[in-house]
Amino acid sequence: MTPTLLSLPPELLHAIAENVTKKDLKRLRLTCKLLGDILEPIPLSPFGEIKDLMEKYLGILSALRSLQSVTWSGPQVQWIKHGHMKIIMDFLASLPSLHVFEEPLTRHAKTLEELDVEAGRDDLWCFGTHNISALSSCTGLKKLGVSVAEVDLPIFWYFNRYSTTLTATPQNAGIIENLLEMASTHMPRLSQLSISLSAMARMQRSPGMNSFMPVIAYLLAYSIPPSLAAIHLPTVVTDSRKFVPIFPSLSPDEAVGGKKGRYTEVKGEEPESTDDASASSVNTSSSDDSE
């Protein structure tokens, strides 16, 4: 039996794809059990910057969503570059072997200590209800980085009448509230939580507008429930700015039903920041590298 390309290690696959020519690309084929239902073989190139695949192939690739099974076992995700071919990324995201927030992540949930997921677009790589369960299972995390979709931050921007300073007025802090409550409830060892917008959302903002301002505005608007006063809450980092939870000085009796805490910026400290790349990536660090 001839081995398929997709049975190779991902590092070798990437090396092959980087050196393949557009002419050779036509020889790469996605094989599946239901290939007879497709009119012709399908070239598959989720690697590199090749953007000129024929429109008919893109249509066939999109139609693969209806397939019930694929004959390869599935590559292990180490790094995914989010290019401009959204239709290919959507197809890859539909494959069970690439559901990072499901089986691959939960497999290492108990030993994972650092997880950084940077979304290229406002899509399923962002934090939301679709992956909160999987992330909650990572109870040993010490550092967590996530992106939030801009659509989950319904915020009104306006210029102050007497100043040119851009001001943000948050309407609700739902996504930030869900994120912080998940961290405080399921991640007792978490010391740092990094929050950002997707790379595409940051690039689309005008030059004079701080792309991180919606995240900061919601973080500052979030009222920490008194019930969390005795629970460890992580330091939050966004746009290389550091925020820590502050509670009023209250006795235990006063804290019950008392004043709520707030996140406050710590001036003069510069936390470690990640590069502002336009790629979607998943970087993980585990205390146990075994499967």
Contacts of 159 (CB under 8 A, 6+ apart): 165, 166, 167
The DSSP bridge partners found for residue 194 are: 145, 237
Amino acid at 155: I
Total structural domains in the chain? 2
CB 77 within 8 A of CB 96: no
pTM of the model: 0.57
Q: Are residues 165 and 73 in the same domain?
A: no
- The larger pLDDT score, comparing residue 246 to residue 11, is at 246
- The larger pLDDT score, comparing residue 152 to residue 77, is at 152
Q: What is the distance of C-alpha 279 from the center of its chain?
A: 11
Q: Are residues 69 and 195 in the same domain?
A: no
Q: Are residues 122 and 231 in the same domain?
A: yes
Q: Are residues 171 and 73 in the same domain?
A: no
Task: Report the distance separating Cα 131 and Cα 69, nearest Å.
Answer: 23
For residue 210, what pLDDT is reported?
A: 66
Q: Are residues 24 and 140 in the same domain?
A: no
The DSSP bridge partners found for residue 146 are: 195
For residue 243, what pLDDT is reported?
A: 94
End-of-domain residue from the set 77, 110, 133:
77
Q: What is the pLDDT of residues 64-107, one digit of tens each?
A: 444 333 333 333 333 344 444 555 556 655 655 456 777 667 77
Three-class SS state of 82:
coil
Q: What is the pLDDT of residues 225-271, one digit of tens each?
A: 777 766 778 999 998 899 998 876 655 554 445 567 888 999 876 55
Residue 93 domain flag: no
Amino acid at 171: Q
Q: Are residues 206 and 273 in the same domain?
A: yes
Which secondary-structure segment (H or E) carries 183?
A: helix 174-186
Q: Are residues 134 and 193 in the same domain?
A: yes
What is the secondary structure of 184-198 as a DSSP string?
HHH-TT--EEEEEE-
Q: Are residues 127 and 232 in the same domain?
A: yes
Contacts of 270 (CB under 8 A, 6+ apart): 240, 242
Residue 18 domain flag: yes
DSSP-assigned letter for residue 179: H
Q: What is the pLDDT of residues 28-74, one digit of tens each?
A: 444 333 334 333 344 444 443 333 443 444 444 444 444 333 333 33
CB 187 within 8 A of CB 141: yes
Q: What is the pLDDT of residues 159-201, one digit of tens each?
A: 444 444 444 455 555 888 889 989 988 999 999 999 988 888 7
Sole residue written with tokens 């109870």: 139
End-of-domain residue from the set 77, 112, 138:
77
For residue 259, what pLDDT is reported?
A: 61
Residue 258, CB half-sphere, CA atoms under 13 Å: how many?
13
CA angle centred on 244, ends 240 and 247, rounded to 5°: 160
Residue 89 domain flag: no
Lowest mean pLDDT among 9-23, 38-52, 131-145: 38-52
- What are the E-state strand segments in 28-111? none
Task: Report the distance separating Cα 46 and Cα 165, nearest Å.
Answer: 43
What is the secondary structure of 206-228 as a DSSP string?
-TTS-TTHHHHHHHHHPPBPGGG
